[in-house]
A = this chain, B = another copy of it.
Amino acid sequence: MIVILKHGVTDEKRDQLIRWFESQGLGVDISKGEFQTILGLIGDVLSLDTDMIESLDIVQAIRRVTEPFKRCNRKFQPEDSIISAGDTLIGGGNFGIFAGPSSLESEEQVISIAKSLKASGANVLIGGAVNPRVTSYIIQEQNLREIGYLVSAKRATGMPVAKEILSVEDVPRYEDIDILLVGERNMTNYPLLAELGSMQKPVILKRSVSATLEELLMAAEYVMAGGNKNIILCERGIRTFSDYTKATLDIAAIPLLKELSHLPVIADASRSTGLGRLTGPVSKAICAAGADGLIIDVHNDPPHSAFNGNQAVTVESFASIAADISRIHEVITK
């Protein structure tokens, strides 16, 4: 951390600040420039309150020289993390295809889709979506029903299952769900993150549509601080002025996150654009960019699905996309 002092600060005030840093266990190097004096702080600066330091009378600005995240930082763990759920591995060269319907309508439908998906190469069944237009009570009832469908499909196919979780209260209800998904709206829901941090279950952490990469990594850090290292980072599109799609998939975030962190990085090929007809090209791009997996919304009959029909692809389209992805993954990892 670099602390830049204001022009004209007295030696006394400067030394007082230096003594305060030293009392926090930090070493301080002083560098005097023509216009500014700069203090270089040496040691563990992560717990410093940078806002407070920046507001001090004698401080002009501070600049970080190391990333503010540690546990998920690749500098401190060069090798890839590998997350396992059932027989599926994700990360470290293992590619995870998370597929399934937003709209879970019956046990029969879910099992039938799951079988097709497995046959085409999916290795995690993911399902469900939040319909906010109904009361909490109905949401909860529907949620339990959907969990039941997924668990039946898991029994029928052996695939691990993933589902979005919305609140701390829901945790016990998700006992049989193998991977918990934190949606973009909950990326900074700290009570939920803390609860998930106290478990060992794999967590998919989605980037908020308005979060920088650093903010996403800080959220992962928060979960990991509780002891859970099984985090999968998920890019799902950010909000920009570009208005043909629901969000703008930040494709370069994939190699960047992999550079910054050892955690597996996946992306959501369906929700980033909201348009099923773009799922094919976008999925292949995600794979080619070096992701460790991706999420695809698949439905047996998209135009007649209860919702998000515009966003899902058919099981036939999925099979074709998965085949291409498998060949692209081979090309880039050969």
Q: Give the interface of A toward B (CB within 8 A).
A: 2, 4, 7, 27, 29, 31-36, 38, 40-43, 49, 51-52, 54-57, 61, 63, 65-66, 75, 130, 132-133, 135-136, 139, 166-168, 185, 188-191, 194, 208-210, 212-213, 222, 238-245, 248-256, 259, 272-273, 276-278, 280-282, 284-290, 302-303, 305, 307-311, 324, 327-328, 331-332
Give the chain B neighbours of A222 by CB distance below 8 A. Answer: 132-133
Q: Are B35 and A243 in contact (CB-based, < 8 A)?
A: no
Which of A40, A61, A75, A212 counts the most B-chain CB atoms under 10 A from its CB?
Answer: A40
11 pairs, A vs B, C-beta closer than 8 Å: A36-B65, A40-B40, A55-B302, A56-B303, A136-B194, A167-B191, A185-B188, A239-B241, A242-B250, A251-B285, A284-B331
Q: Are B239 and A132 in contact (CB-based, < 8 A)?
A: no
- In the complex, what distance in Å separates the CA atom of A276 from the CA atom of B208? 27
Q: Are A248 and B252 in contact (CB-based, < 8 A)?
A: yes
Give the chain B neighbours of A42 by CB distance below 8 A. Answer: 32-34
A244-B212, A332-B284 are known contacts. Are A4 and B65 too (CB-CB below 8 A)? yes
Partner of A212 from B75, B243, B308 at Cβ < 8 Å: B243
A33-B42, A190-B136, A307-B49 are known contacts. Are A256 and B284 too (CB-CB below 8 A)? no
Closest to A32 in B: B29
- In the complex, what distance in Å separates the CA atom of A258 from the CA atom of B275? 15
| Cβ-closest 8 pairs across A and B | A288-B288, A284-B288, A210-B210, A29-B31, A31-B40, A285-B285, A55-B310, A285-B289
Give the chain B neighbours of A244 by CB distance below 8 A. Answer: 212-213, 252-253, 256
